[in-house]
Every structure is written in structure tokens, then in C-alpha cells.
Amino acid sequence: MAAASMSSSPITQVSQHQVPIQSNLQPQLLTRLLLDLRGKRFSVDRETIMNLPESVLLCLFPNGLVLSRQSSAFSDGGENEEDEEVYGVDFDPDCFSYVLEFFRSASETFYGTATNPGLFAAQQHLLDGSPSDFGPAASQNPLLTKQAIIVLREELEYFAIPPTDGQALTDDNGIANQALLEIKRRCGQHIIEKRNIFTALQRNVHKENNVAEQHLIDMLCMSGFNRDDEWGYRAVEPSRCCISSIALVLLKTGIMHHPPGPNGERPVTIDYNQMATAQKLLLFWRKPARKCWWDGMEVDISQSEESSQIIKLWARRVWTLELSLV
């Protein structure tokens, strides 16, 4: 049988100009996202979103981060091309403001502004370093070229065991009466007022004699936290027995910027022991680590001029530790 001609081949028989070019099918990348966080709107640029901690992004976008227009009306060249889609997000707006402001301030301090040079300009010469015992060449050390931020979050669910006086009850549908709701509210307020970051974990260390947990506290306190630090933001989630907390601190990298010299120079030195400790935190860069434990205690939730009201309170705490580079 004679070989088929090239013109009859199913692969080549359709000429290229006959294939329609659908250039407008490519999703349009967004330069800014308009977010609605429980009724409060934020307009955030794409770079800022991408610099946020992975654990925070998972809370903001549990179904995945969207960086392109989702409606066909925005990609057909129609009248709505300049409109913005609003993405509803179930996240505390005040917590989001706290994170955005901290990251903005950290970035400006490190990279500088139009009027004030940042720390990065003064430590440029450190990038010419050679390989050392602490890692590869300096130019490959992200702690020299980026601002590192330690992100520590706590998700706390609390469970109050009411007294057996028969007043705090639930109905047949499991709905709490006013007495039980008041107990839950007061327990939440009691926990909110305990703002010290490490108190609960230190209590667990003493109870369980857990050496690993003590090492965690020591490492965090060597890297930027103080042992008496409080949560940067802490609030009860609406209509839930859940408290969300977050603390952000700049990582102590060992890079020390000294006061300007007589000729205006800004000397910079490195504490290599501190740098070695800081490099351990790179394990948590874009890789959040979580720890969960139960905490039980008896608390007095009585208010002024009331008789003592002791409640057994259980809390399930989930800590998330992460490092962000801005």
C-alpha cells in the first residue's frame, strides 16, 4: 500500500491559520486584591499578600489563594474591565491590620524609604563574604538580604465545666441557657486577660517535665522574644469558645548596626553565634510547625462583690511557629 501523503495526515491536514487564537482565555493576574474581612474592606497589593506568613494565608484563603480574575466579565474587554472583585474572608480584620502594619514597618526599616536609607544599605558589604563554618557564601544567606520575622500563633478552644447547682444547662437541642452562656463569656474574658505568651507552655513544662518544650521556649527567647512578652493581638472569635492570638517579632540574626562614626560611616558587625542560632529558624521558613496540648485549671470567674465562683476550665491550645522573609 502506498504511503499516505503529508496533506492527508491527521496531524498536518489542519493548517495553523485555521486554529482560532483565544488570547483572552488566559486569566488576568491581579495586581491588588480587594478583601472583605467580616465587613471591613482591605485593598492589598499582590506582593504584600505573597509575603504574608503561610499559616495566615491558610486562614485567609482555606480553599486556595486566588490571584487572577474569576469572573468572565473581567476578561472579555467589556465595560467592567476596571471593576474589582471583592473576596469575602472569615478572618479578624483587626488581627489582619496588626499583621499588615508590622510587616510594613519591618520592611521600611530594613529596605528604607524615599527619605531614609534602611539597614540593608549599610550591610551590603556583608554579601561579599566567603563560605564559612556557618553555611554557604554570604550572598546565599537569606538572613543577610531579607528581613526575617518570627510568627507565633495560638488557636485556643476552651471548655467550661459548669457547677452542679442546676442553673447552667442546655435544652433538648443542646442550646445553652443564659446562665451557661454567662459562664462561657466570663471564662473567655478570664483567658483573654492572661496575655503572657509563655505562661501556659511553661506551666506544661513544669507539669510534664518536657525538655523539648523548654528548649522551644529557650530558642524563641534567644531569637527575638522575651520571657515576659505578651501576645501582640488576642481576641475571642465571634459566637465561639475560641481565642486567636498572634505575636510577631524581628528575628535576631546577630547582625549589629552600630551608631554612625565620626565620618558618617555606619559600622556593621556579625555575632556568628547568634547567626548560627538564627539559621535554625530557617527550618520554619514557609514550613509552619504546630504543637497541640491540653491545659486544665480551676478559675474564679466571680466579679466584684460576688461570692467566689470556681469553674473547671479546659483549654486545647494549638501553636503554629513560622518564619517569614520580607
Q: Is 112 left (phi over 0), alpha (psi -120 to 50) or beta?
A: left
Are the C-beta atoms of residues 316 and 296 closer than 8 Å to each other? Answer: no
Q: What is the pLDDT of residue 21?
A: 46
pTM for the whole structure: 0.82
How far the first Cα of the chain sits from its last, in Å, is: 68
| 159: β partners | 314
Q: Across all residues in the chain, what is the average pLDDT?
A: 84
- pLDDT digits 0-9 by tens, 5-26: 545 544 444 444 454 544 455 5
Per residue in 269-320, pLDDT tens? 889 999 999 999 999 998 999 999 999 999 998 888 788 889 999 999 999 9
Contact, 120 vs 110, CB < 8 A?
Answer: yes
In which band, very low, low, confident or very high, does the pLDDT at 207 lie, cut at 50, 70 and 90? confident
- The set of cell numbers assigned to 156 is 485556643
Q: How far is Cα 98 from Cα 50, in angstroms, rounded to an integer?
A: 17
More confident residue, 307 or 157: 157
* Domains in the chain: boundaries: 109-129+141-325
**Contact between 243 and 192 (Cβ < 8 Å):** yes
